[in-house]
Amino acid sequence: MRAFTAASLMAGIAYALPQSCQTTTKQVIVPTSTATYYSTHVETVQATTAQDLGTFTEIVRQSSTKTLQTLTSTEIDCTASGMVASQPTTTIYTSAGDTNGSSSQSPTASAALGNQDKSLHSRRDAECTVTKTSTTTYGQTYTFVPADATSTYTRFTAFTQATVTSTSTGGTAYAIATALATAPDHCGRNSTSTSTTTQDARCAPSALISAAGASETSEQFGLSYSQRTSSGATYSTNTTDASSCCQQCVEAEGCAASAWDIRNGACKLEFPVKFDSGEMSCGLGLQAYYNAGPNHPMERGAGLFVARGCGSVAFANAKPDDGT
């Protein structure tokens, strides 16, 4: 008798321990009103004739041309032959060098503790589920009733349009003139010597810009192309590297910025002008567009290398390559 009483007491204690219950809430939404809308039946008719789109006027503007300045390139004229010195070049930049830095950040203490399970689990003798129902009155139901009307839509598959050309005069186109000078030199087989060249610090490799992004701290992408955003002139040539392209810009009066393309060696110098006077302004030289993909983002250094001359440069995201 005593053994039976003890067993019953232990069972009661176990039943009295707290249980772990899961609460499930069901939400029922009851519309506040019912709205009735009338719909019109639309019949589509296939057109048998072409739709006339009217007349398109193409305006051809004839502008006068203003030459901003003349850039002179030098060509070597061999006046003699024989033994000459090959000249490995050492480049010296004339002001402060690279100021870029890097930083690293160690994991925080809270992240280090993220994998540790410090929670306390209560004793569970059985599972239970509690269901609660919540009713919300909101919105309305919709009823569409056909209206006693029919609308006809004509679909055209062929179109015609007349084109006329109108010519207007006015405005100014800006240009950079070029000149070629020859320099006499001794040409022939190579011996060994060294030479030193000096370039502006703005043309140092560390100062050239080959990538951009939404911000300085976000992911950076290569520069796909550039364009001048104001009136002015563009001087185009080819150079062996981005620093040589930049050096031409800093030596040319009014050159706001340069862009060198590693894919083909093309070098562009930008000369913006004031909108009211047409004089060189040293303002915004160009806007370069970084290719962020998303399908095929451009790696940094795979496109343009941009440098500031006497002006500034801006950056923007190129059109996405996924069709959006």
Q: Is residue 171 part of a domain?
A: no
What does the pLDDT read at residue 273? 93
DSSP-derived letter for residue 10 is H
Annotate 165-233 with DSSP letters as a single string.
EEEEEEEEEEEEEEEEEEEEEEEEEEEE--EEEEE-GGGSGGG-B-EE-SSTTS--EEEEEEE--SSEE
Q: Is residue 52 part of a domain?
A: no
- Residue 96 and residue 178: Cα distance in Å, rounded? 32
Residue 260: count other Cβ atoms within 10 Å of its Cβ.
27
Instruction: Decide: 15 and 122 in contact? Cβ < 8 Å.
Output: no
Q: What is the pTM of this model?
A: 0.53
Q: Is residue 271 part of a domain?
A: yes
Instruction: Decide: 249 and 307 in contact? Cβ < 8 Å.
Output: yes
Q: Is residue 101 part of a domain?
A: no
Q: Is residue 232 part of a domain?
A: yes
List Cα–Cα distances, 183 to 76, 78, 234, 237, in angstroms. Answer: 5, 8, 26, 20
Helix (H) or strand (E) holding 43: strand 33-46
HSE toward the beta carbon, residue 231, CA cutoff 13 A: 17
SS (H, E, C) 217-270: CCCCEEEEEEECCCCEEEEEEECCCHHHHHHHHHHCCCCCEEEEECCCCEEEEE
What does the pLDDT read at residue 124? 46
What does the pLDDT read at residue 171? 76
- Residue 268 and residue 176: Cα distance in Å, rounded? 12
Expressed in angstroms, the distance from the first to the final Cα of the chain is: 83
Burial class (CB in 10 A: 0-12, 13-18, 19+), 230: middle
Q: Is residue 264 part of a domain?
A: yes
Q: Is 102 helix (H, G, I), strand (E, B) or coil?
A: coil
List Cα–Cα distances, 79 to 86, 155, 183, 188, 285, in angstroms. Answer: 17, 76, 9, 10, 40
Q: Is residue 100 part of a domain?
A: no
Annotate 272-293 with DSSP letters as a single string.
EB-TTT--B---EEEEEEE---
Q: How many domains does the chain have?
A: 1
Domain hosting residue 208, numbered range: 196-324
Structure tokens at 25: 């809430």
Query: What residues in the chain have per-residue pLDDT under 70?
Result: 1-20, 76, 79-89, 95-127, 138-139, 170, 185-195
